[in-house]
């Protein structure tokens, strides 16, 4: 590997995506609660709390603000040596990325075969026909939701109207299911019955 | 709605909703910009954020983040919290909207915590999670605003509100976003509509008043007002008034209450200029078996009652399952139910009993890489008057995936039913003296062969293509072959339908459907639309 490539690779791995909580003199406080030192001669001016930037770390763990690039590493990857107060949280607070959360729904055999299956979520005030699911086979439906990382979407399953909302095994209204915005998140929901089909 | 049904509605509300609590105090958030993300329930204020809590606590910072899932706020940059004569400042401050804890993070003094009374701060163990401030892309926000009023665990009102897209934002003076998950917030007493967009007017943790902009099949555009009162997942009541721009208004009522782990009660009513229909039901679970009672009454003097018991889904060899349902009840009509009889007044109430056997196969693999699932349902109802009603239904659904993105489905459904009146069949199904005339004036001579036995058969083929998670195409062709059925009488013989689900903007998705009924009732085709907006 040539020296130039080594330098580029080193620069790439030292870039971290952070959200400044505050800038104060030679301190840069970032989301995840770590506190970074700014490199000598580097000013906090122009850094807006709450708006993401990238920082590069030198060997002493001092940070230099950089232009934000899409390949910047998350805050949680910042090495411990860079912190003055405490390490960052393990949970990456980067919610710019969209992840796919897959929902599988298994419907009872009495479901009319020509009916579509829908998700109803709080996002539309529980519209009973908010998102039509894709059919996998006669009794299996699937929807791949694109959610922001960290999302937590409550949903119920319907056949397109409130009168056809899912019921639990005791035929009472079940609590909402939760789809989470994590990479490759997956939830399987088994519908025991519908409101209109016992 | 008449006085008596209205009294029933209000009495049911009072009985069904003992747990409805009053609204909690609200929190307001102001900023140069306030953006909201509907899936993460994140509110972020920038360019000078001001947070005002119900107890008079005020906070200011360069930016602020509120996590509505946890009722947690993080104030970032020159953060200062003031309550009465007390104040604290730090580089970042985390506080709970509902709780008492206040955490301070300052580069010079480290981490400390205090309470909402803002007494002297004491050094604290570091809890980094409490200061997490998400990195978000404002361009994919669902709502952009400058002022948000939060009712914890219930809703957020934005003033003004814009729904940003890549070609601009649709502004409205005020928008109420409800994120409460109680089952009753999804309940409605409105009839189904081709399009229904609610617009929240007032909301609390236990109630929502909403205006609905609707497009209804038949009347067309309509405006409806609905009030929901909710007690978690355990009870709700919804009352609505639906007023089409052309046509008559419809009053609706719907209520539900869970009665322990095994029972639930429901009531609903719908009133028009033609009268009111009221319905009540009680469901019960006995292990995997269950029962249900339904009673329906109309102001026109009709009523019906059905009590049913069902077995669990019992296994059969090969993965098949069966279930038996038995029922009993009555149908009644003031002045006589069987109006075809000369002494109809003697039959104002007719009792019945019935039995239903349902058998289902599992989804099994069949040749050519396809899967197949079938069901068979047979039922007979005996009436106190010499009359039986039989139905026999069968369905089969096959699917074949050609790739992860392309799947073909084929279905067959058939239902045969027969009304049998021993000795009086011709009285209830007389041969027409003149041919039945259809909507376009065509005589339907074949109708003379209809003596109480009906057949409904349909075959469908659907092609589904899902190139990516945000996009799906579906083309469906349905053919029906029924009796009686002819040129506008009964179901259309051919229907073609296309649906597409796509996301034109990062924060807005659309689901548009178009269907055509071909050569039916004197028309070349009859188009229908369906339309839905998704965040």
Convert the pLDDT of each residue in A13-32 to its tens digit: 578 888 899 987 778 888 87
Domains in chain A, number: 2
CATH code given to domain B27-153: 2.60.450.10
DSSP string, A127-184: -TTSEEPEEEETTEEEEEEEEETT-EEEEEEESSSGGGBEE-TTSSPPPPEEEE-STT
Mutation target vs B (from A23, A30, A49, A73; most B CBs, 10 A cutoff): A49
* B407 contacts in chain A (CB < 8 Å): 135-136
Most distant CA pair in chain B, distance: 100
Contact state of A85 with B105 under an 8 Å Cβ cutoff: yes
Tell me: do A72 and A28 sit in the same domain. yes
CATH number, domain of A36, equals 2.40.50
Domain end: A51, A82, A113, which one?
A82
Contact B509, B467 (CB under 8 A): no
Count of residues in chain A: 198
Contact state of B186 with A96 under an 8 Å Cβ cutoff: no
CATH number, domain of A151, equals 2.60.40.10
Instruction: Name the A residues in 53-92 with CB < 8 Å from any B CB.
Output: 75, 84-89, 91
Is residue A93 included in any domain, yes or no?
no
What's the CA gap between B205 and B68, in Å, rounded? 13
Residue spans of the domains in chain B: they are 1-23+176-300, 27-153
With CA atoms as reference, the chain A residue closest to B265 would be: A172
Tell me: do A103 and A146 sit in the same domain. yes
Tell me: do A43 and A112 sit in the same domain. no
Contact B173, B160 (CB under 8 A): yes
Of A19, A88, A110, the CB nearest to B128: A88
Contact state of B464 with A132 under an 8 Å Cβ cutoff: no
What's the CA gap between B48 and B63, in Å, rounded? 6
Is residue A156 included in any domain, yes or no?
yes
* B253 contacts in chain A (CB < 8 Å): none
* Residue B265 C-alpha, separation from nearest chain A C-alpha, in angstroms: 9
Domain end: A15, A47, A82, which one?
A82
Tell me: do A176 and A115 sit in the same domain. yes
By the CB < 8 Å criterion, does B243 face chain A? Answer: no
Tell me: do A102 and A163 sit in the same domain. yes
Is residue A90 included in any domain, yes or no?
no
Distances (CA, A) of B5 to B186, B209, B239, B252, B369: 24, 22, 12, 11, 56
Of B283, B360, B363, the CB nearest to A171: B283
* Residue B75 C-alpha, separation from nearest chain A C-alpha, in angstroms: 8
Query: In the A/B pair of chains, how many CB contacts fall below 8 A?
Result: 272
Domain end: A52, A82, A112, which one?
A82
Q: What was the pLDDT predicted at A88?
A: 65
* A75 contacts in chain B (CB < 8 Å): 135
Q: What is chain B's pLDDT, residue by residue, as a tens digit (535 residues)?
A: 444 454 444 444 444 444 444 445 689 999 999 999 988 999 999 999 999 998 899 999 999 999 999 999 999 999 999 999 999 999 999 999 888 999 999 888 888 999 988 888 888 887 778 888 988 888 888 899 999 999 988 899 999 999 877 666 678 899 999 998 888 898 899 988 888 888 889 888 899 999 999 988 888 899 999 999 999 899 999 999 999 888 889 999 999 999 998 999 999 999 999 999 999 999 999 989 999 999 999 999 999 999 999 999 999 999 999 999 999 999 999 988 888 888 888 889 999 999 999 999 999 999 999 999 999 999 999 999 999 999 999 999 999 999 999 999 999 999 999 999 999 999 999 988 888 888 778 899 999 999 999 999 999 999 999 999 889 999 999 999 999 998 888 999 999 999 999 988 877 888 888 888 887 877 777 777 777 777 7
Contact state of B135 with A52 under an 8 Å Cβ cutoff: yes
Kindly give, in sequence order, each residue whose CB lies less than 8 Å from that of residue A104, ignoring residues fewer than 6 positions away: A136, A140, A141, A142, A186, A187, A188, A189
Going along B421-522, which residue ranges are E strands? 436-437, 443-444, 453-468, 471-480, 494-505, 508-520
Contact state of B133 with A93 under an 8 Å Cβ cutoff: yes
Contact state of A131 with B511 under an 8 Å Cβ cutoff: yes
Is residue A89 included in any domain, yes or no?
no
Is residue A131 included in any domain, yes or no?
yes
Is residue A65 included in any domain, yes or no?
yes
Half-sphere exposure of B435 (CA within 13 A, CB side): 11
Domain that holds residue A72: 3-82
Rounded to 5 degrees, what are φ and ψ at A137?
-150, -160
Residue A7, pLDDT above cutoff 60? no
């Amino acid at each position: 590997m040539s020296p130039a490539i080594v330098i580029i690779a080193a620069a790439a791995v030292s870039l971290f995506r952070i959200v400044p909580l505050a800038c104060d003199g030679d301190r840069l406080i970032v989301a995840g609660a770590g506190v970074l030192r700014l490199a000598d001669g580097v000013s906090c001016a122009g850094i807006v709390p709450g708006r993401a930037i990238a920082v590069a770390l030198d060997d002493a763990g001092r940070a230099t603000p950089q232009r934000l690039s899409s390949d910047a590493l998350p805050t949680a990857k910042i090495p411990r040596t860079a912190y003055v107060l405490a390490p960052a949280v393990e949970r990456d607070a980067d919610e710019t990325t969209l992840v796919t959360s897959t929902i599988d729904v298994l419907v009872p055999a009495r479901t009319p075969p020509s009916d579509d299956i829908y998700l109803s979520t709080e996002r539309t005030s529980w519209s009973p026909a908010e998102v039509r699911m894709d059919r996998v086979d006669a009794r299996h439906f699937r929807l791949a939701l694109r959610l922001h990382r960290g999302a937590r979407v409550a949903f119920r399953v319907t056949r397109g109207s409130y009168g056809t909302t899912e019921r639990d095994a005791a035929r009472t209204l079940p609590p909402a299911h939760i789809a989470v915005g994590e990479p490759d998140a997956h939830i399987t929901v088994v519908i025991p019955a519908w409101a209109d089909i016992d | 709605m008449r006085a008596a049904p209205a009294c029933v509605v209000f009495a049911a509300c009072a009985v069904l909703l003992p747990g409805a609590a009053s609204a909690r105090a609200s929190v307001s958030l102001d900023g140069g910009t306030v953006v909201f993300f509907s899936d993460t329930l994140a509110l972020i204020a920038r360019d000078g954020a001001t947070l005002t809590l119900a107890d008079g606590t005020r906070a200011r910072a360069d930016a602020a983040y509120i996590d509505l899932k946890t009722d947690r706020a993080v104030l970032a940059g020159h953060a200062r919290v003031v309550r009465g004569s007390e104040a604290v400042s730090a580089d970042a401050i985390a506080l709970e909207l509902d709780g008492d804890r206040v955490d301070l993070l300052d580069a010079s003094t480290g981490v400390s915590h205090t309470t909402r009374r803002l007494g002297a701060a004491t050094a604290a163990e570091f809890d980094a999670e409490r200061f997490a401030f998400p990195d978000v892309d404002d361009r994919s926000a669902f709502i952009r605003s400058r002022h948000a009023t939060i009712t914890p665990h219930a809703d957020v009102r934005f003033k003004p509100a814009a729904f940003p897209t890549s070609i601009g934002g649709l502004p409205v003076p005020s928008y109420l976003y409800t994120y409460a998950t109680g089952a009753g917030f999804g309940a409605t007493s409105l009839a189904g509509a081709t399009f229904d967009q609610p617009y929240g007017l007032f909301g609390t943790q236990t109630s929502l008043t909403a205006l609905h902009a609707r497009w209804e099949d038949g009347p067309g555009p309509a405006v409806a007002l609905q009030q929901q009162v909710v007690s978690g997942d355990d009870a709700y009541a919804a009352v609505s008034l639906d007023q089409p721009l052309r046509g008559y208004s419809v009053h609706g009522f719907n209520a539900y209450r869970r009665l322990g782990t095994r029972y639930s009660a429901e009531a609903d009513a719908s009133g028009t200029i033609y009268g009111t229909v009221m319905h009540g039901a009680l469901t019960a679970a006995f292990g995997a078996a269950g029962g249900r009672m339904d009673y329906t009454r109309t102001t026109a003097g009709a009523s019906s009652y059905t009590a049913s018991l069902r077995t669990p889904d019992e296994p059969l060899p090969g993965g098949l399952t069966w279930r038996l349902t038995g029922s009993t009840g009555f149908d009644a009509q003031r002045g006589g139910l069987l109006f075809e009889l000369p002494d109809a007044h003697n039959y104002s109430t007719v009792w019945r009993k019935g039995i239903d056997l349902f058998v289902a196969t599992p989804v099994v693999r069949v040749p050519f890489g396809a899967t197949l699932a079938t069901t068979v349902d047979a039922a007979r109802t005996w009436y106190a008057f010499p009359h039986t009603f039989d139905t026999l239904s069968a369905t089969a659904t096959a699917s074949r995936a050609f790739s992860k993105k392309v799947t073909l489905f084929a279905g067959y459904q058939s239902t045969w039913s027969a009304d049998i009146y021993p000795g009086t069949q011709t009285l209830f199904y007389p041969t027409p003296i003149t041919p039945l005339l259809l909507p376009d004036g065509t005589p339907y001579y074949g109708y003379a062969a209809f003596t109480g036995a009906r057949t409904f058969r349909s075959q469908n083929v659907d092609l589904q293509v899902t190139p990516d998670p945000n996009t799906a195409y579906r083309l469906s062709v349905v053919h029906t072959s029924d009796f009686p059925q002819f040129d506008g009488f009964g179901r259309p013989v051919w229907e073609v339908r296309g649906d597409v689900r796509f996301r034109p903007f990062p924060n807005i998705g659309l689901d548009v459907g178009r269907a055509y009924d071909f050569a039916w009732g004197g028309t070349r085709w009859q188009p229908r639309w369906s339309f839905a907006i998704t965040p």
